Amino acid sequence: MIDRRDFLARFGGVFEHSPFIAERALDAGRIVPPLTADGIHAALVAEFRAASREEQHGVLRAHPDLAGRLAIAGNLTEDSRREQAGAGLDRLTPQEHARFTALNAAYTETFGFSFIIAVKGLTKDDILAAFERRIGNDAEQEFETAKAEVERIARLRLQALIPGE
């Protein structure tokens, strides 16, 4: 049997500041032993996709700007801090930071949520190129792209929590 409190403490943050995803997956009986990254990911993604459009937007809005004010203030979740640092976003030149800030502002104004990308394995240049390419998407295309990136981030976080998969 899966202990609810332990499960939520361990996996409730896989979708950024959105523990309701893990709660619903557990309550729906989607979480079954043995706990594997693939199994938990499938369960969480099913709940994310079943969530209302407004709830999905809430999950997207829970993600911080890349190299944004939360990062500067040191107020990112540990997962987000580690992910952004791994891509070098904590070591931007003033010019690079200004470019990220301008793109973040334009993107958020256009789409209503921060630019989301699974940064693992990417460089700051890769991220900037994706930023500049995706800012031209229409709203529905970018909503779907951002959701896919959130799901990719969740998979990477689960793989870090359950090593060996």
Q: Bigger pLDDT: 113 or 67?
A: 113
Residue 73 — very low, low, confident or very high, per pLDDT cuts 50/70/90? very low
Per-domain boundaries in the chain: 64-142
Angle of helix 139-161 versus helix 37-50 axis, rounded to 10: 150
Give the pLDDT confidence of 105-140 residue by residue, as tens digits.
999 999 999 999 998 899 889 999 999 999 999 999
Residue 76 in this model has a pLDDT that exceeds 70: no
Which CATH code for domain 64-142?
1.10.3330.10
Q: What is the pTM for the complete model shown? A: 0.90
Mapping DSSP to helix (H, G, I), strand (E, B) and coil, where does residue 53 land?
Answer: helix
Q: List Cα–Cα distances, 63 to 58, 133, 156, in angstroms.
A: 9, 20, 15
Residue 8 in this model has a pLDDT that exceeds 90: yes
pLDDT computed for residue 80 by the predictor: 73
Catalytic annotation, residues: 63
Residue 75 in this model has a pLDDT that exceeds 90: no
